[in-house]
Amino acid sequence: MYQNYIKRMFDIVLCSIALLCFSPLFLITALAIKLSSPGPVFYYSDRAGKDKRAFHFYKFRSMHMVDENHKQKDLYTADADRLFWVGRLIRRLKIDELPQLINVIKGDMSIVGPRPMPVSSVDHQYCGEYAEILTVRPGLTSAASLFDYTVGEEYANDEEAYRRIVVPQKLKMERLYIKKQSFRYDVNLVWRTIITIIMVAFGCKKYPRQPEIKEIEVI
C-alpha cells in the first residue's frame, strides 16, 4: 500500500487541475440543467466514506424532482422515467459526477477508490468479507465503476439480472482494489476511465475485457 500522503497529494493536484480545466463545462452544464428541468442544479445524498463516516455526496442533477406520489425504485438501477434529456446526456458521459471533485478536495473521497454506498444500505452491501472496502476513502472511479459503466448498462432495465450478475462482480473488484492499490494502479485506472468515456462519447458498443475480471476469479 502506498503512503496516504502521496495518494492525497495526487488527489489534490489532479483535482485542482481538473476543476480549473472543467470550470467552463460546470457553467454550461448548470445552465443546461436549469433550462431543461425545474429545480436545483445540484443533487446530494448521504454516503458512507472511510470507516463509514457519512458525508454529502455531490452530483449534477440528472432527473426530474420527485413528487409526493412517486415511489422510489430499486437501489441499483436508474429511474429512467425521471431522466430529462440533458440529464441522460451528462450521466452517459459522466459529467454528472464532476461535482465530486469538490468531495475529493474536501477529503471525503479520493480520485480512485471504491464507489461510496448510501448510508442507508452500506451495512447490507459492504458486510462480511467486503467490510474491508470501508478501510479506504471512496473514489470517483474504480475498476468496478468501469465495469458498471460498460457491462452494467446491458442490464439497466433488468433489476434482477443486474443484482445477480453485475453487483457480485463489482463487489469483488472493489475488494481487489484494497489489495492492489498503488500509485501506478491509480494512474492506470484514471487513464482507462478517460479512454472509456471517450469511447462512449464516440458511440462505441464493445470494450476491451478488463484485466480485473481474471483476477477476481481467484479471490
Number of Cα atoms under 13 Å in the Cβ half of residue 95: 24
> How sure is the predictor about 75, in pLDDT bands with cuts at 50, 70 and 90?
very low
For the chain, percent of residues with pLDDT exceeding 70: 91
Contact partners, residue 175, CB within 8 Å, separation at least 6:
129, 130, 132, 133, 219
The pTM of the full predicted model, rounded to 2 decimals, is 0.88
84-127 per-position pLDDT tens digit: 999 999 999 999 999 999 999 999 999 999 999 999 889 888 98
Three-state secondary-structure class, residue 118: strand
DSSP secondary structure of 97-110 = GTTHHHHHHHTS-E
